[in-house]
Amino acid sequence: MAMVCQALTFLHQYWYEGLSAKKVSKTPVAVKIGVLSTAMINSAALFNPAASYAGAEVVAIASRDAETAKSTAKKYGIPKSYGSYEALLADPEVEAVYISLPNGLHGEWAIKSMRAGKHVLIEKPLCSNSQEARQIFQVASETSLVALEAFHWRFHPAAHAVKDLVEGGKYGRVTRTRARMVTPKNSIPGSDIRWKYLLGGGALMDETYTISSTRFFTQPTPDGITITSATARPWSKDPRVDAAMEASLSIQSTRGHVIDSTIYADLDQPNLAWVVPRVWELPAIEIELENAVVYFYNFMMPHLYHYIQIYDKRTKKTTYEKHYNFPSEPKTAQPWSTYRYQLEAFCNKIRGNKPHHWVTPEDSIQQMETIDSIYEKSGLGKRLPTAEVV
């Protein structure tokens, strides 16, 4: 389902961001961005958002195949292309790098990019494990550069509307959460990097939004997440890779109470009655509070479509909300994608301006610690960077 959402995002951005790009002139302080890899996600995550945003400009792209980089650059109107990642990092015009490489390579190239003086926007998951995450932010601190894990959904107005609802006190404290993300069976070819153990593939790594959303709405203490159970369904062609992962978490909230949470991620979900793909099952999280149950449908790509269902236990009434813009934005404002909001925050941070939201180093480290713990509890063991397992 994630791949379907991504395809729909291309259409959304063509309408809202692509069409408006003709009206946008880049500011003199626009952040000059280079891209490592020619991955399919680049268009949705960066090219289209940057086209409509005056504060960012994509100036270079690199691939290990020079012709691939050249053809991609031509397709998207990118001025420069390189046949190696090192060549792009040596380009003095490039100020920041978007890293959309396979998961197991994120850490290595984030560190190399910062050592070359570039800020980094790193696709989720940040890297292979929490040890590597700490290394990334240690280098960011040493170089005084910006490093951001690209959990784009958290920058969208809908995510903050739900967070305000949950933390506002009207419905009491959170008692339970259940996050779920699935991809219909056979949607992902066997050759895809999501199935490659050596590149950090697997359901939990790819669909780690389930953990991100759980943590975002429960506010764990720094050491407040305990994995009480974790069960992996190994991929039939490589038992080291999780085709699906289900886990139960006990979360100590910063508000002083314990929350029971479950997550389920599946890259190869069995069809209904063995025939019908469950294409309607978009990523969702259910948040139960003392006096209400909040259901956030399609939290990962809320710009496409979402709804927030609120069941009040006291009145027995159910209400619905949708939020495509922040309250501070004009009513006529365009409903930007999650990626566009994220790009603005990233560029604002680089230029010394306050972003409307941020994923902190501590946040990303705890995210990777949770992934480590789930893998270890499941018996698969925590992941290693590609350089250490090849």
Q: Which residues are catalytic?
A: 124
Q: By the 8 A CB rule, do 62 and 69 touch?
A: yes
What string of DSSP letters covers 331-366? Answer: TT-----HHHHHHHHHHHHHTTPPPS----HHHHHH
Question: DSSP class of residue 386?
Answer: H
Return the closest-CA partner of residue 314 out of 296, 289, 295, 297.
289
Q: By the 8 A CB rule, do 54 and 31 touch?
A: no
Strand partners, 27: none
Strand partners, 119: 96
What string of DSSP letters covers 33-97? Answer: EEEES--THHIIIIIHHHHT-TTEEEEEEE-SSHHHHHHHHHHHT-SEEESSHHHHHT-TT--EE
Q: Which amino acid is at 262?
A: T
Integer Cα distance of 221 and 212 in angstroms: 14
Integer Cα distance of 99 and 236 in angstroms: 30
Return the closest-CA partner of residue 60 out of 340, 42, 161.
42
Q: Could you give the 3-state DSSP secondary structure of residue 292?
A: strand
Integer Cα distance of 338 and 324 in angstroms: 10
